[in-house]
Structure 1
Amino acid sequence: MRVLALSFLMLLGACATAPVPAPADNLDRIAADYVALILEIGEREPGYVDAYYGPPEWQAAAKANPREIPALADGAATLTARLNAVPMAGADAATVQRRKYLLAHVSAAAARLRMLSGETMSFADEAEALFGIRPELKPLSTYDPVLAEIDALVPGPGALTDRVTAFKADFVIPKNRLEPVISAAIAECRTRTAAHIALPANERFTLSFVGDKPWSGYNYYLGDAASRIEINADFPIHTERAIDLGCHEGYPGHHVYNALLERTFVTRRGWVEMSVYPLFSPMSFVAEGSANYGIDLAFPGDESMRYEAEVLAPLAGITDADFPQKARLGTLMRRLARAEYTIADDFLSGRVDRDATIARLAKYSLTTPDKAAQRLRFIETYRSYIINYGLGRDTVQAWVERQGPDHWAAMETLLSSQILPVDLVD
């Protein structure tokens, strides 16, 4: 009996000292570690984190002790392995999509870390690695017939770029009237959006005008359904651009997108991965594409032209301007948008120098050399990010319109989802 009793006591002691098994890994734990990874990359590359409204102590920890880039790359690889190891048997569609979304964003983060380590990629390879979709790069000669159509639309002596610039000068908003015109445009964009999408009750934004930026407008999402919208007033802003900026940066664009993601995922589900927005990620393709398509959604057909002529022009003090002609010009110029992908590819690869690139941008965007130089500054800063605007808009539009006749309902679904670029083309 003493032998049995001693054996039993030894067994109890062994059980008492045995390590407690670690809890099974799951998407919530991985998502928290993903947020830490993105915040730490943001400490290594300023501007990489476009928005963050998660626990402030996580951001403080990232600032206090960010890993070096090689360790971050190892962290991304570990996250990928952990995500692939999470069992999906019996998981609902939202959970399956959540893992797919995290995998895509960790993959983009890993690609960005390789770039920060010195790896170079072609323009198309980089775009696909970061944003999850591959752009087509067409020869610039593809766009020459569009230039010929514009040449016929805006006839006269002198270079085509000069003629277009002179024609559009009739629609420039005076700087002392920018605030009331832009504010009116944003208010109209909001009214049209709120008629179809239930916005958070506390959503709001502030508006300011800035200068010396590579972009024309920017939305800084602050969390709690609040944004700071900045407009670059360095260059002339035309009446149609007031509508573009109001929709793109505000309603139903970036402000609404971020507010709906926060409400849907962070507030209601506690999915912390959506509290951080890495700029160089598939999220940006959906964000920029939906923001640009939102302009057409809010102002279909000739409604933008009519609103410009009837409301914005009087506010801007513009009279006797040919708005129908400008609308026709805008339709043609939209067909030139992807020319800059080829131009950027040639410049970023070193095949074409700076001066020639500025000339190409001026020619194919029909703008002044100084404005083309600003666009080149954007390309140098954000590189293949430029695909998210034109290709993003067209891809989002095609997906929304495939969902059925209620385009606003489809848009709200997209803006409240973890839908990826690859899902938009499937």
Structure 2
Amino acid sequence: MEPSTYTGENAAETRDMDAVARFYVKCALWLGVHDPVFVDAYFGPAAVQDEALTVTVPPDRIAGYAADLLATLDGIDPDHLEEAGRMRHTHLREMIRALKIRAGILAGENLTFDAETEALYGVAATEDDPAWYSELHAALDARLPGDGDLSVRYRAFMDSFVVPPDRLESVFAAAFAESRRKTAERLPLPAGERLEIGYAAGEPWEAFIRYLGNGTSLVRVNADLPVTVDRALAYACHEGYPGRHTMRTIREAALVRARGWIEYSVVTLASPLATVAEGAAVLGEEMIFPGPERARFFEEVLFPLAGFEQADADLFDAVVTASTALNLTGNARVARGHLGGALSREEACRLLQDVLLLEAEAAQVRLRLIEELRAYPVALAQGYRIVRDYVGGGADRWERFVHALTEPVLPGDLTSNGSPE
């Protein structure tokens, strides 16, 4: 039984990008059955999802359908399209190409890790300088209280800033409220957008966000696991405002609803578009709380709510800055080394302990996540660098940031020209 009466082959007769996009969405949903991390969100028509998921389509067939869709797009001359159509044609091609590569990998095709990173995310996995980590370790060593093993001191310091469970709700509410207020000062949020924060217990995750469509996101925080106060603000900015929730509400309104581009109703974590989008979400905290503003927010708002000494806010902020940089780049380093074959599992765990200062059990958990996400940590680190360098420090930095956050943008779009269109 064929999973649909529409295929990439008969799309070539209509040369209709709407039809191509609709079938691409089905292919993405089919692939999500085999790859649980591929589809991060779907908020398109329920009928499309219901039709797609009535059958199970194997990865090799999905890859074949994607090849048909790419051939269809080859039959559409971009020069005959208006500017928006040309942009859609380019980006739809990159979405389908990444899906084809990912489906092929699941079907058994072999790519080197570096080739996989470039094919899926449109960026190269670069070598980093071990001395850079040493410099961050030296900075932490100079700031952290006490003597002895750096990782032990670091973990003890961070453990002292775990938010008590009975204060967790007020800390998260304040972090999300302030990040939303500061975001709304810089860009208009769609009418009716809403982010709901809830709390759970007995789950393996610390927190997660799910975009439900119609401008609504659901955040769930695990009250059973220790959450340091910086994580509340990081979630508020990266997942909420001006991060993923903001990005998806604006793109849903502007692309899916206003233009009818259904391909943006399925959000995948493997495409060159995801590289920029995720990089912009990571940069969001720095945009909303630049320079000393984050330390001041810790001191004046979050520390009192959590019951911490306000005098410790500057030191805490400095430690978090260093550890965030270690994690972003270190995760990518371990992913490339381990999945590229240069590091055994034991060596990768040791590197996570030595470089990211994780304890042994946490290193094992982190490595399992890296193995599941594969090249995504590299794309996240590279996407952050690309967006940060593109945004720069000039007077138009917010204009540039909003462009990278809210528009569908490829890595090359930000590195090949100097200003947003």
TM > 0.5: yes
Match of 2:258 in 1: 268
Q: Please, which of 365, 370, 377 is the counterpart of residue 379 of structure 1?
A: 370
Match of 1:421 in 2: 411
Cα displacement (A) at 1:292 = 1.0
SS in 1 for 2:186: coil
SS in 2 for 1:229: strand
Matched, 1:48 2:38: yes
Change (3 A) 1:213 1:344: farther
Q: Which moved more, 1:416-425 or 1:149-158?
A: 149-158
Give the residue type in structure 1 aligned to 2:390: W
Which segments of 5 or more consecutive residues in structure 1 lack a partner in the other structure?
Answer: 1-21
State how far apart, in whole Å, the 2-side matches of 1:91 and 1:358 are: 51
8 Å CA contact 2:331, 2:378 repeated in 1: no
State how far apart, in whole Å, the 2-side matches of 1:310 and 1:366 are: 29
Change (3 A) 1:138 1:409: closer
Cα displacement (A) at 1:235 = 4.5
Q: Please, which of 57, 60, 79 is the counterpart of residue 69 of structure 2?
A: 79
8 Å CA contact 2:331, 2:370 repeated in 1: no
Give the residue type in structure 2 aligned to 1:375: R
Matched, 1:294 2:270: no
Cα displacement (A) at 1:154 = 2.5
Q: Deviations over 1:69-90 (max 9, x none)?
A: 2221111111111112101224
State how far apart, in whole Å, the 1-side matches of 2:205 and 2:108 are: 25
Cα displacement (A) at 1:139 = 5.5
Q: Please, which of 391, 396, 400 is the counterpart of residue 382 of structure 2?
A: 391
Match of 1:281 in 2: 271
Match of 1:3 in 2: none
State how far apart, in whole Å, the 1-side matches of 2:87 and 2:96 are: 14
State how far apart, in whole Å, the 1-side matches of 2:244 and 2:42 are: 14
Match of 2:247 in 1: 257
CA-atom RMSD in angstroms: 2.2
Which segments of 5 or more consecutive residues in structure 2 lack a partner in the other structure?
Answer: 1-11, 417-421
Matched, 1:245 2:243: no
Q: Which moved more, 1:192-201 or 1:343-352?
A: 343-352
Alignment of 1:11-410 (within 5 A): 24-138=14-128, 140=130, 142-154=132-144, 156-210=146-200, 216-233=206-223, 235-319=225-309, 321-336=311-326, 337-401=328-392, 405-410=395-400
8 Å CA contact 2:304, 2:310 repeated in 1: no
Match of 1:16 in 2: none
Give the residue type in structure 1 aligned to 2:144: V
Give the residue type in structure 2 aligned to 1:145: E
State how far apart, in whole Å, the 1-side matches of 2:49 and 2:217 are: 19
Give the residue type in structure 2 aligned to 1:393: Y
Cα displacement (A) at 1:201 = 1.3
State how far apart, in whole Å, the 2-side matches of 1:290 and 1:306 are: 23
SS in 2 for 1:135: coil
SS in 2 for 1:341: helix
SS in 2 for 1:65: coil
Cα displacement (A) at 1:381 = 1.4
Give the residue type in structure 2 aligned to 1:339: G
Q: Deviations over 1:15-70 (max 9, x none)?
A: xxxxxxx9641222211121121122123333422111212111111111233222
8 Å CA contact 1:214, 1:374 repeated in 2: no
Change (3 A) 1:233 1:386: farther
State how far apart, in whole Å, the 2-side matches of 1:109 and 1:236 are: 36
State how far apart, in whole Å, the 1-side matches of 2:250 and 2:85 are: 19
8 Å CA contact 1:261, 1:415 repeated in 2: no
Give the residue type in structure 2 aligned to 1:405: A
Cα displacement (A) at 1:169 = 2.8
Change (3 A) 1:213 1:106: farther
- Aligned pair count reads 404
Structure showing greater Rg: 1
SS in 2 for 1:318: coil
SS in 1 for 2:267: strand
State how far apart, in whole Å, the 1-side matches of 2:239 and 2:143 are: 31
SS in 1 for 2:409: coil
Change (3 A) 1:128 1:248: same
SS in 1 for 2:180: helix
Cα displacement (A) at 1:283 = 3.1
Change (3 A) 1:120 1:323: farther
Give the residue type in structure 1 aligned to 2:297: Y
State the TM-score, normalized to the length of structure 2.
Answer: 0.89
Percent identity, aligned pairs only, is: 36
8 Å CA contact 1:186, 1:246 repeated in 2: yes
Change (3 A) 1:155 1:183: closer
Cα displacement (A) at 1:155 = 5.8
8 Å CA contact 1:277, 1:283 repeated in 2: no
State how far apart, in whole Å, the 2-side matches of 1:281 and 1:111 are: 10
Cα displacement (A) at 1:400 = 2.2
Cα displacement (A) at 1:104 = 0.7
Match of 2:4 in 1: none
Give the residue type in structure 2 aligned to 1:359: R
SS in 2 for 1:46: coil
Change (3 A) 1:209 1:384: farther
State how far apart, in whole Å, the 2-side matches of 1:342 and 1:413 are: 29
Q: Which moved more, 1:78-87 or 1:322-331?
A: 322-331
